[in-house]
Amino acid sequence: MSTTLEPIELPDWAWERAEVRQALRARNIGAVFRCVQQYAGASQARIATAVGMAQGRVNEIINGRREVSRLDVYERIANGLRMPDDARHLLGLAAGREKHSGGAAFDLAAFPEVVRVYATQHSAGEEIQQQAREAAELDVLAVRGLGLIGLNDSLLRACLPREQGGKDLRVRVLLLDPDSNALVQRAAEIGESAESLAGGVRLAEARLRELADHCDIEVYRYRMLPTWRLIRTDSTMFVSAFDAGWEGHESATYKVMETPHGPLYRGFRRMFEAVMEGAERTVWRKGNGA
């Protein structure tokens, strides 16, 4: 692959087509590349040269075997395809020649962070697992965490280092303190005994402690009433809500991606760090803690 990027020029009308705009809005880069093939007559090798990727990676993206999640890669793709500013905005990027002078506030509709909405966590499960397997960092904010990461058949357990032969991954998990008043309130909200809910938290904690010899893992107990369930894989988050009427896995799940000016990703990450700051750490990687 050439080290010098050679941008591809699409006709202006191509960026105005409905399927192109929908692909950009959904951050479906595979669909974007297919449109480039169709409207610019570009081969996979030509696209690879334009966006600074290996041809094999472009092939995987086009065929749905890999997704793009890193902000710098989106920027490189936008530059390599000479995207006009409105196309960049649909992708969640700033204008090509961003102005920093004062004026009206950012139009957040032009910088979409919520790129996909799933009816439940289950319908997002395959994508969450794919993102977790490729991540360097995994953060989880849950109540008891058994269905997310505690049990052998939980959503994320198979993505953890011990199950993958020691892949380097930093994991931080926040669970509701089983001895807190917040847990008693949450148990009442979902019609479960506090003893049962607390037992589930302790079981998840014990199962996560088993990973301490194989994984850079930290587990914390927080004491506030849970509002958000959060899974962060590098620069992508999957967020759902707790309420008196449902549990986190029953809520709609929002895929939130980091963008240059968007507040949601940064806000949720700040929230996670604040909750962790006030939490009690209960599991360390062996040799790294007290």
Decide: 78 and 97 in contact? Cβ < 8 Å: no
Which pLDDT score is estimated for 250?
82
Kindly state the average pLDDT of the residues 255-274: 89
- Neighbouring CB atoms inside 10 A of 184's CB total 16
Residue 155 in tokens: 């959503």
Going by pLDDT thresholds of 50, 70 and 90, the confidence category of residue 182 is very high
Domains of the chain listed by start with CATH number: 12-92 (1.10.260.40), 114-283 (3.30.870.10)
Residue 139 in tokens: 């953060």
Residue 209 has pLDDT above 90, yes or no: yes
Residue 20 has pLDDT above 80, yes or no: yes
Residue 28 has pLDDT above 80, yes or no: yes
Per the model's pLDDT, the better-predicted residue between 95 and 145 turns out to be 145
Kindly state the average pLDDT of the residues 64-71: 90
Distance CA 245, CA 202 (A): 24
What is the chain's mean pLDDT, rounded?
A: 86
Residue 1 in tokens: 């692959």
Decide: 285 and 172 in contact? Cβ < 8 Å: no
Beta strands, E only, the chain: 114-118, 137-141, 170-176, 216-222, 228-233, 236-241, 253-257, 280-283
Distance CA 66, CA 30 (A): 9
**Chain centroid, CA 34 distance in Å:** 24
Residue 158 has pLDDT above 90, yes or no: no
Going by pLDDT thresholds of 50, 70 and 90, the confidence category of residue 17 is confident
Which pLDDT score is estimated for 53?
92
Decide: 255 and 237 in contact? Cβ < 8 Å: yes
Residue 102 has pLDDT above 70, yes or no: no
Going by pLDDT thresholds of 50, 70 and 90, the confidence category of residue 65 is very high
Distance CA 229, CA 182 (A): 15
